[in-house]
Structure 1
Amino acid sequence: MEYTVGKVYHGFKLERQEKVEELNSIARIFEHEKTGAKLLHLENDDSNKVFSIGFKTPPSDDTGVAHILEHSVLCGSKKFPTKEPFVELIKGSLNTFLNAMTFSDKTIYPLASKNEKDFFNLMDVYLDAVFYPNIYSTKEILMQEGWHYELENIEDELTYKGVVYNEMKGAFSSPDGVLMRNIQGSLFENNTYGCESGGDPEFIPDLTQEEFLGFHTKYYHPSNSFIFLYGDGNLDKMLAFINDNYLVNFERREVNAEILPEKPFNKMKEVVKEYSISVEDSSEEKTFMAMNFVAGSSMDDELYLALSTLEYLLLETQGAPLKQALLDAELGKDVYGYFDGSILQPVFSIVVKGSEKEKKEKFREVIFGTLQNLVDNGIDKKLVEACVNITEFKLRESDFQGMPKGLYYYMTAMDSWLHGGDPLVHLRYEENIEKMKQGLTTNYFEKLIEKYLLNNTHSSLLLLVPQKGLADEKEAQLKAKLQKYKESLSMEELQEIVNETRELIKRQTTPDSHEVLETIPVLSLSDIDDKVEELKVEETEAEGIKVLYHDVFTSKIAYVSFMFNSNCVKEEDIPYISFLGTLLGKLDTSTYTYGELSNEVLINTGGVYFKSEVYGDSKDVNLLSPYLEGHCSVLVDKLPVAFNIIADIMKNTKFEDKKRIRELLRMLISRVEMRLLERGHQVASTRLGSYFSPSYDYVEKTTGYEFYRFLKSLDDNFDEKIDSTVGKLKELINTIFNVNNLMITVTGKDEELKAVQNNVSTILSVLSTNEVERYSYEFKEENKKEGMLTPANVQYVAKGYNFKKLGYEYTGKLLVLKTIIGMDYLWNKVRVQGGAYGAFANILRNGNMVFASYRDPNIKETLKAYDETPEYVRSFETTEREMTKYIIGTMSELDLPLTPSMSGEVAISLFLRRISHEDRVKERKEVLSTNIKDINNFAGMIEDVLKQDFVVVLGNDNKIKENKDIFKKLENVFN
């Protein structure tokens, strides 16, 4: 259908229409005449259609009202009155993405699906949720999602409970998270960016029902909305749907959501904040320092891209000048940068982690001295070329792994659109890339440093210092406060809280009626493609080396992996493989310094990196295939150069620079520590799996807590261990980089494959040809039953075992069981009733079954919920319609769209884990044929798995100690 600027289509007036070459899309910008709703449409041939509606939601306090509202509108609406329409959609939709997100100044509700019928169903539920939520008639929604006083009986202890309350307690447990939250607060004293949009647990209980509803009434109106449509969908049909079903019911109104810019400071502001560490932990080298600058406007498209590139140039590359200067000055263990261009006044931050507060002035001196030196003497032009090149490569590649392209484009558009700017300004990058290339011959980036960093007083110096037992102290103060409050209440007032608590529990434990559930639109099984996309891997060769080739269009980018079987390494040396992978490409070689090497990589490729990987066998739980993999993405014409670089790294890496090795070691420790606190469910699950699964045990030794202990021991005893460590690393290089260990994988078309075959001799020429000794790793099952102590305010509770070891077999029907347990039973018991932010069951082909919770206030209650799963499964009953939903929801996970690089990764992984196309066809048929009886029959399996009583809990030290009878061993994670 042709569209004409100035014409009205279903209430939407087309204001602009143009081609965006960078996205290969036609962009159309509409305004809804009746309401003023804004709409951006990007038309292209992407079948993964995206819809989103967003609202400008600037908070004025730290109660987290915007975040709580984001959760709450998805708890039932006028047309879809179920308690959890969001969950019902996940259960029964073919969505490829479904979520909601709160930012500092906006809240968005994005979804994606390749199925048109499903897409309209999802759009209907989301639009009804944001415009007609049940929050006005059901006060328990704020209680559940935000906060409430919990008191089941008058004699009980009075506590706070709520999903967002516990989520943010978890978020505030991570010092890196606390730092990021305080950066904005230090720069914005008088506008919304100084507020915590997610909610500070200390202030969340200040939020009243009236303020909560008032925020929705004010901001969730079409006149304050930003609607987005992307992909190959029927625009006319979508516009008609949005107008006729929703916008037509509203009138235009003024919504005062303006965000006034913060006035610049006259001088740098200094702020000191505290974060908690355990009483047993040392407070040495635990201070964070951040220097932060407010830089320009998010609507300045050139500056937006240039400052992002400058942050990478100064702080992210190997040998980045500012990062290196801070490390050379021994100011801390880790250095990183942060640029947030998504807010009205973007923020540029320089962060040092693992420091001491006494080093504050030196921190300031090194930053300004280094920046001034760069301005006076110029930035290395090779470094400029490298950083501009990688920025351009990543923009052209458009590979936003895990996120639909359309959603990335929407979020990018909103950075300017939200503030009245052009939504296309950041999507068009060609011209700004060319402007940045001026930096190759001019002082382009030096001028940015001078204006936005050196001569910018709108800045802050933030120190985040450790305080032993702060979390416990705050918890004790909170208990005392709640006890005092309880004592001030009359019996009638206490009974009212008890009644409200019981009413909430009653609502949470009462299932929706079938009539209510049937309001949620559902696809039929006939809407599902019964064919499995074949991810073919062709076995071929290059110079006698086995090549696994995945044929897919990649826009002339070759995705190549050099996979070296690492079972030639002794069991006790496994952690060194992962450490070696981290070091490769970040140390000097005989040819380049590590800074020069980084420049060569970024100028000529889309990235080169090495990592340890292991592939468990789908047929035999005891088999595993470990590799050290060298990966690169490169345009086919640059492939010979890329292979020369990789060969240089493999052959000529030098390990003499012990100072550099320690820098990299400490940065790695810092990043692993971040993961321990922010992804505790993964850490606990891996630790648990290592008790009973050889492949999990390998992962634990190469990326998990065991690896962290290995790194810490090396750092704590560096002088004694470094010589033997270097010897070990050199030995591993000689052992692993051997022709007899090598297999190559290629993702691309025939041109890319031929380029690899024609140039592989470059790699082979640097490899050893010695005979290789293979090791089979002895695995001993052991239930360590650990409580892992941290200063966090929440827990991550994991329990499970391997069902194949108990004589059970894998079937695709287990995937439907996983959906039912995760999105029904655990969601209700652990999240809704227990107050955890999340809970899931993971069930794998190799037999590993793990239950885990995320940001959980409980331990025993969660383990009890896990242990009661068999009874739930045994007595599980539902309607045929609901069963169809569970099956469809399961299928959506099997059919996630893959980018070219992801397609190659998945195809190779399936091949190495011995999962054939026939296996996947069989699995799909089993999913589609699952019935209630099948689910009931899994009760015995789950019972047997849980009876093994394998448990790991990572969380608050006091909480774990209070429950010490559960554990065989308590482990202090950070001591």
Structure 2
Amino acid sequence: MLPRTLSNFMNAFTASDHTFYPFATTNAQDFQNLMSVYLDATLHPLLKKTDFTQEGWRIGPENPRIAEAEGDGNPEDSKLVFKGVVYNEMKGQMSDAGYLFYIRFQDHIFPSINNSGGDPQKITDLTYEQLKKFHAEHYHPSNAKLMTYGDMPLADHLREIDAQMSAFERIEADIEHKQPIDLSNGPRTVKVFGPVDPLADPDKQYKTSVSWIAGDTSDVVESFSVALLSSLLMDGYGSPLYKGLIESGIGTDFSPNAGYDGSAATGIFSVGLTGVSESNIETVKSEVQKILQDVHDKGFEQGKIDGYLHQLELSLKHKTANFGMSVLQRLKGKWFSGTDPFDSLAWNDTVAAFKAKLAQGGYLEGLLNKYFMNDNTLTFTMAPSENYGAELAKEEEERLALKIAQATEEAGGEGAARTFFEQRELELLEEQSKSNTQDLSCLPSVHVKDIPRKKEPVIVRDEVLNGTKVQWREAPTNGLTYFRAINTFENLPDELRALIPLFSDSIMRLGTKDMTMEQLEDLIKLKTGGVSISYMTTPSPTDFHHASEGLVLRGMALDRNVPEMFSLLRKLILETNFDSPEAALRIRQLLQSSADGIVNDIASSGHAYARRYAESGLTRDAYLTEQLDDQNRIS
């Protein structure tokens, strides 16, 4: 029998109203194998009760094996606690203050939509019978969307899909489109409490946002226009909202919900900040409204609009290994909300319609007036609470006691209930151990004969130009040129290495003596697909005790704009103005922004910190990487 416990071998992404199961491979046989397994597992899962208790939630002794072996030993080992993979994953996720802010905001603006991963305080209300019923009603082909991308024959995919789908009878599809709260009657204000960040400024612990309903997303042209409007208002250090809210010092960074969300049937536009003082809470909303009014009165510069349209052109030409996934990510939200996916894919038609409306004059200003120049808003604020963690632990303790009391009554006594919990825990451990000895021959396999014996070689050409080593890779790239230059360091002191991330961030923040960063950002968007400067380290291929490090410069541009890309990189590297009166203030803002929420990163990615620290004593490359944020590491 085919093993069908999804979490054992499948990758899934859960959104607020759908789950999708992506897979990819370059091997045709492997693709067929994966498709058969994924379709079988999603449409015909076993959904055993033991799967529910193991993956979902249950009550059990904290350490059943030790408790069983030691009898009346350490009482902590036999202490009953909530267990379950999803339950504990979501406890960790909800300990991230940024995620908590976003989820609680969603709870209030979209009360009809549930937490996609599950709220631990609600997970323990779910029963196995409810799970089975929900799966039968919703995880059905009548509710499914399927997308394939690649160069393999579509007819082969369709035959496999038809073979799996034909076993089902059509049911009435779930086409309810969840709607946000009604804000047409004026402003609403919501305040909730969250944890304190011990590393942040104790006087700037508030997070707050102001949100508007932004129209029907099935109007593809208008939704595209509002998304572009959001970018003009918020993206980049020179954007009006960044300058007016973050550069002015009201907050340290945009809130997790900031920007335009067009994934549901109704769009939401939010502007929010983290690192806000209590005295500035009301200032945020008034300042946002003031900035929007000022932008409306002045209008938008055509050059900035052209820069974003240029970025769109490049994104359509820029093909990566994740291109199919990015298309799916772009389609799925609106697809499930009723928008025809082919309308969403018709980018050229959408851009042409946008340009036609723009040519009539005042189009973007009109959208500002239509949706945002009013007080039909939701102001959502999360205040810090010193007691938040203790109150959360107390709530869980009381909920656990209630569940144990219910189980005790059903079992006919405390001893019977505890025996049941302990016996079930041991049975789950035994079942887990079976996975190491199960017969996996029923799973489809890829054999050596299915793998091509030859792979098309990657041809590179090495040259030396003006004393500099240059390597060329010529390939079809849709008219784009990709550039990477590495400047290696020799014997860099540790105290200077620690400053490299701040140094590279500053280069992309401070501007030069003859150009502001806003002007440089506009030029970067208009002439390139982006440029960057960051730290890199790479291990020696022959000696793990050695590694090279340096700065890596990256850029992408249409072939015709390559000279401008080189000029911009040169200007940023050689002409950044570190001595201007504003430089110290902006560097301080960079430090505050990078420090904001660092405790949340530890809570959600503590395993990554632990792994890097453990690896740092093994190789020189790992040691260098551990000293710096590994997002700066060259791939």
**Fold match by TM threshold 0.5:** yes
What is the deviation of 1:411? 3.3
1:693 aligns with 2:626: no
Residue in structure 2 matching 1:452, options 341, 366, 371: 371
1:134 aligns with 2:46: yes
Amino acid at match of 1:580: F
1:478 aligns with 2:399: no
Paired with 1:679 and 1:307, the residues of 2 have a C-alpha distance of: 33
Amino acid at match of 1:508: Q
Whether contact under 8 Å (2:21, 2:38) holds in the other structure is yes
Paired with 2:96 and 2:307, the residues of 1 have a C-alpha distance of: 33
- Cα distance 1:677–1:312, how it changes in 2: closer, same or farther (>3 A)? farther
Tell me the residue number matched to 2:168.
Answer: 250
Paired with 2:598 and 2:346, the residues of 1 have a C-alpha distance of: 36
Residue in structure 2 matching 1:666, options 592, 596, 599: 592
Q: Could you tell me the percent identity over the aligned residues? A: 25
Residue in structure 1 matching 2:432, options 490, 495, 508: 508
Whether contact under 8 Å (1:149, 1:497) holds in the other structure is yes
The 3-state SS of whatever aligns with 1:361 is helix
Whether contact under 8 Å (1:557, 1:634) holds in the other structure is yes
1:143 aligns with 2:143: no
What is the deviation of 1:593? 0.7
- Cα distance 1:230–1:570, how it changes in 2: closer, same or farther (>3 A)? closer
Tell me the residue number matched to 1:180.
Answer: 102
What is the deviation of 1:478? 2.2
What is the deviation of 1:531? 4.2
Paired with 1:623 and 1:386, the residues of 2 have a C-alpha distance of: 43
CA RMSD of aligned residues (A): 2.7
Whether contact under 8 Å (2:5, 2:45) holds in the other structure is no
What is the deviation of 1:86? 6.2
Deviations 1:227-273 (A, max 9, x none): 223323333333222223x2222212213441243452212221112
- Cα distance 1:487–1:628, how it changes in 2: closer, same or farther (>3 A)? same
Tell me the residue number matched to 2:92.
Answer: 170
1:391 aligns with 2:331: no
Amino acid at match of 1:663: Q
Tell me the residue number matched to 2:190.
Answer: 271
Paired with 2:597 and 2:478, the residues of 1 have a C-alpha distance of: 33
What is the deviation of 1:567? 2.3
Deviations 1:249-308 (A, max 9, x none): 221221344124345221222111222237797632121112222211232211222222
Deviations 1:893-936 (A, max 9, x none): xxxxxxxxxxxx99xx7xxxxxxxxxxxxxxxxxxxxxxxxxxx
Amino acid at match of 2:87: Y
Amino acid at match of 2:273: V
What is the deviation of 1:106? 1.0
Whether contact under 8 Å (1:278, 1:468) holds in the other structure is no
Tell me the residue number matched to 2:293.
Answer: 372
Paired with 1:224 and 1:231, the residues of 2 have a C-alpha distance of: 24
- Cα distance 1:437–1:598, how it changes in 2: closer, same or farther (>3 A)? farther
Residue in structure 2 matching 1:124, options 12, 32, 36: 36
Residue in structure 2 matching 1:638, options 537, 561, 566: 561
Q: How does 1:90-109 map to 2 (within 5 A)?
A: 99-109=11-21
Tell me the residue number matched to 2:72.
Answer: none
Whether contact under 8 Å (2:109, 2:181) holds in the other structure is no
Paired with 1:416 and 1:278, the residues of 2 have a C-alpha distance of: 36
Whether contact under 8 Å (2:546, 2:619) holds in the other structure is no
Tell me the residue number matched to 1:805.
Answer: none
Q: How does 1:549-560 map to 2 (within 5 A)?
A: 549-560=472-483
Higher relative contact order (CA 8 A, sep 6+): 2
- Cα distance 1:584–1:212, how it changes in 2: closer, same or farther (>3 A)? same
What is the deviation of 1:692? 4.0
What is the deviation of 1:630? 1.8
Tell me the residue number matched to 2:71.
Answer: none
Paired with 2:261 and 2:542, the residues of 1 have a C-alpha distance of: 46
Tell me the residue number matched to 1:618.
Answer: 541
What is the deviation of 1:597? 0.7
Q: How does 1:452-601 map to 2 (within 5 A)?
A: 452-455=371-374, 457=376, 459-483=377-401, 485-486=403-404, 489=408, 490=413, 491-511=415-435, 514-515=438-439, 517-531=440-454, 534-567=457-490, 569-601=492-524
Residue in structure 1 matching 2:209, options 277, 290, 302: 290
Paired with 1:428 and 1:228, the residues of 2 have a C-alpha distance of: 16
Amino acid at match of 1:504: L
What is the deviation of 1:166? 1.4
Tell me the residue number matched to 1:213.
Answer: 132
Whether contact under 8 Å (1:388, 1:436) holds in the other structure is no
Q: How does 1:908-919 map to 2 (within 5 A)?
A: none
What is the deviation of 1:83? 5.8
- Cα distance 1:256–1:527, how it changes in 2: closer, same or farther (>3 A)? closer
Whether contact under 8 Å (1:586, 1:598) holds in the other structure is no
Deviations 1:337-357 (A, max 9, x none): 333222121222222111123
- Cα distance 1:328–1:577, how it changes in 2: closer, same or farther (>3 A)? closer
Whether contact under 8 Å (1:183, 1:292) holds in the other structure is no
Paired with 2:564 and 2:170, the residues of 1 have a C-alpha distance of: 59
- Cα distance 1:182–1:312, how it changes in 2: closer, same or farther (>3 A)? same
Q: How does 1:754-833 map to 2 (within 5 A)?
A: none
What is the deviation of 1:532? 5.6
The 3-state SS of whatever aligns with 2:349 is helix
Q: How does 1:916-955 map to 2 (within 5 A)?
A: none
Tell me the residue number matched to 1:718.
Answer: none
- Cα distance 1:540–1:387, how it changes in 2: closer, same or farther (>3 A)? same
The 3-state SS of whatever aligns with 2:215 is coil
What is the deviation of 1:673? 5.4
Deviations 1:600-637 (A, max 9, x none): 11100000111011112132122121111221101111
- Cα distance 1:237–1:534, how it changes in 2: closer, same or farther (>3 A)? closer
Amino acid at match of 1:408: S
- Cα distance 1:368–1:412, how it changes in 2: closer, same or farther (>3 A)? same
- Cα distance 1:570–1:150, how it changes in 2: closer, same or farther (>3 A)? same
- Cα distance 1:684–1:447, how it changes in 2: closer, same or farther (>3 A)? farther
1:419 aligns with 2:337: yes
- Cα distance 1:118–1:212, how it changes in 2: closer, same or farther (>3 A)? same
What is the deviation of 1:391? 2.8
Paired with 1:598 and 1:350, the residues of 2 have a C-alpha distance of: 21
Deviating more after overlay: 464-473 vs 360-369? 464-473
Give structure 1 stretches of 5+ with no counterpart.
1-78, 89-97, 708-904, 910-975
Deviating more after overlay: 606-615 vs 639-648? 639-648
Q: Which has the higher strand share?
A: 1
Whether contact under 8 Å (2:196, 2:205) holds in the other structure is no
Paired with 2:339 and 2:294, the residues of 1 have a C-alpha distance of: 36
The 3-state SS of whatever aligns with 1:134 is coil
Amino acid at match of 2:209: A
Tell me the residue number matched to 2:328.
Answer: 410
- Cα distance 1:176–1:302, how it changes in 2: closer, same or farther (>3 A)? same
Paired with 2:6 and 2:451, the residues of 1 have a C-alpha distance of: 21
Q: Report the TM-score when normalising by structure 1.
A: 0.59
Runs (4+) of structure 1 moved beyond 6 Å? 278-282
Deviating more after overlay: 205-214 vs 650-659? 650-659
The 3-state SS of whatever aligns with 2:544 is coil
The 3-state SS of whatever aligns with 2:472 is strand
The 3-state SS of whatever aligns with 1:461 is strand
Paired with 1:471 and 1:541, the residues of 2 have a C-alpha distance of: 60
Amino acid at match of 2:272: V
Tell me the residue number matched to 1:363.
Answer: 284
Q: Report the TM-score when normalising by structure 2.
A: 0.89
Deviations 1:827-849 (A, max 9, x none): xxxxxxxxxxxxxxxxxxxxxxx
Paired with 1:630 and 1:441, the residues of 2 have a C-alpha distance of: 41
Deviating more after overlay: 595-604 vs 231-240? 231-240
Deviations 1:780-822 (A, max 9, x none): xxxxxxxxxxxxxxxxxxxxxxxxxxxxxxxxxxxxxxxxxxx
- Cα distance 1:280–1:374, how it changes in 2: closer, same or farther (>3 A)? closer
